[in-house]
């Protein structure tokens, strides 16, 4: 929507797996999501533009190749991966599904670019979680290193925290290699945790994005906001010192637009660490609590046992210069953005309440 409103010719592709996978675990989005036809019609009615759409699965090579041969797009904004850590940790079947879905989809795009559209810019969603939580600063993708008296510039070591996060590490290697051997161009986005209900283009509830809030599909801030709205205590896991980078959905879309409109050179593989600020989950719970109280909610915080295997107190300092150099400035403070989230969610309180049994964690990293 954002790109179409800026005058780009946009072609949407989806296999609707997200809807199915959220339904599978007995949950749904707080914001009701219409069919693709309804959403496209609403967009046309409200913004006056047709967005072309193709239903299909990027795990099928001929589908991907057909699209690239026909359209030779300037950019592929590849958001078509299974994006959920707990979902990937349910069992071997969900692990293997996540691995193959993500890796094969990306390989198919790389091959189709190579064979049919080698000038296309692949804008790929990775995750800041690829790096894990090392005890040293995290550069953007690569670092100059001295070791036993010799120097090189190498990919920064990755150590991810879920099968899902590892698929992004694996994609990173595969994309880097494809750019090298086939002179393709790609921006690999190491994105922080996204939060929020909207972008500026969502001028009607029919255009809202999903807002998942259950233990599996809800990211931490989204979960805390939904919890506050229905009077459920906020639930930072364990000690709560787990620190990550965060970015509002609105800003994420603006960053992806900047990368789209400022593509890399031929053969260039570049990495953007895409986040605004780092917070530990206790900080976030406190912020949600503060905004909630301002709006009249009584918000408590509890600390369930951590279902994940992760450091609960650690150093964390990732760089994020590249997007700022392209002109990125965050739109709002996190507290202002959280107020918008609260206002949006209040209309859908009943939908959150209906799934309140799906909020506390059941998927455990150890078992």
Active site residues: 127, 164, 168
Residue 120 or 199: the one with the smaller Cβ distance to its own copies is 120
Binding its own copies (rule: CB under 8 A), the pick from 160, 248, 253, 288 is 160
Q: Strand (E) positions, 163-306? A: 185-191, 193-195, 243-248, 269-274, 277-280
Q: Please, which residues have CB within 8 angstroms of residue 20's CB and are 6 or more apart in sequence?
A: none
Region near its own copies per CB under 8 A, out of 45-53, 171-179, 241-249, 333-341: 171-179
Binding its own copies (rule: CB under 8 A), the pick from 24, 55, 155, 266 is 155
Per CB under 8 A, 309 contacts its own copies: yes
| Sequential DSSP letters for 120-177 | -EEEEE--GGGG---SS-B-SSEEEEEETTEEEEEEPP---SSHHHHHHHHHHHHHHH
Site for its own copies in 46-65 (CB under 8 A): 61
Binding its own copies (rule: CB under 8 A), the pick from 166, 213, 246, 348 is 166
Region near its own copies per CB under 8 A, out of 11-19, 43-51, 86-94, 286-294: 86-94
Cα 333 versus chain centre, distance: 19
Region near its own copies per CB under 8 A, out of 28-36, 165-173, 235-243, 321-329: 165-173
Binding its own copies (rule: CB under 8 A), the pick from 12, 56, 66, 134 is 134
Per CB under 8 A, 163 contacts its own copies: yes
Gyration radius of the chain over CA positions: 20
Per CB under 8 A, 104 contacts its own copies: yes
Q: Which of 13, 31, 24 has the alpha carbon at shortest distance from 249?
A: 31
Closest separation in Å from C-beta 245 to its own copies: 18
Q: Which of 151, 166, 190, 223 has the alpha carbon at shortest distance from 318?
A: 190
């Amino acid at each position: 929507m954002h790109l179409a409103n800026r005058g780009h010719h946009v072609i949407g592709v989806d296999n609707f797996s997200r809807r199915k996978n959220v339904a599978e675990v007995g949950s749904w989005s707080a914001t009701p999501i219409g069919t693709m036809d309804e959403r496209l019609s609403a967009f046309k009615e409200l913004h006056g533009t047709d967005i072309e759409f193709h239903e299909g699965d990027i795990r099928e090579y001929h589908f991907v190749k057909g699209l690239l041969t026909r359209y030779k797009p300037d950019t592929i904004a590849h958001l078509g991966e299974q994006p959920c850590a707990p979902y990937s940790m349910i069992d071997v079947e969900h692990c293997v599904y996540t691995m193959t879905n993500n890796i094969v989809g990306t390989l198919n795009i790389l091959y189709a670019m190579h064979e049919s559209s080698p000038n296309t810019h692949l804008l790929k969603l990775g995750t800041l979680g690829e790096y894990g939580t090392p005890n040293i600063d995290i550069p953007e993708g690569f670092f100059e290193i001295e070791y036993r008296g010799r120097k090189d510039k190498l990919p920064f070591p990755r150590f991810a925290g879920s099968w899902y996060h590892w698929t992004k590490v694996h994609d990173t290697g595969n994309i880097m290699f494809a750019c090298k051997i086939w002179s393709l161009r790609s921006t690999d986005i190491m994105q922080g945790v996204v939060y929020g209900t909207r972008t500026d283009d969502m001028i009607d509830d029919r255009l809202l994005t999903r807002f998942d809030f259950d233990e599996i599909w809800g990211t931490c801030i989204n979960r805390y906001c939904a919890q506050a709205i229905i009077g459920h205590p906020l639930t930072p896991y364990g000690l709560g010192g787990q620190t990550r980078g965060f970015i509002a959905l609105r800003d994420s879309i603006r960053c992806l637009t900047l990368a789209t409109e400022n593509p890399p050179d031929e053969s260039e593989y570049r990495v953007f660490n895409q986040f605004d600020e780092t917070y530990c989950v206790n900080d976030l719970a406190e912020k949600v609590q503060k905004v909630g109280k301002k709006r009249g909610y009584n918000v408590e915080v509890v600390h369930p046992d951590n279902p994940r295997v992760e450091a609960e107190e650690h150093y964390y300092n990732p760089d994020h210069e590249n997007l700022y150099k392209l002109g990125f400035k965050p739109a709002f403070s996190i507290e202002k953005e959280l107020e918008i989230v609260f206002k949006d969610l209040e209309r859908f309180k009943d939908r959150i309440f209906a799934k309140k049994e799906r909020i506390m964690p059941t998927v455990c990293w150890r078992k």
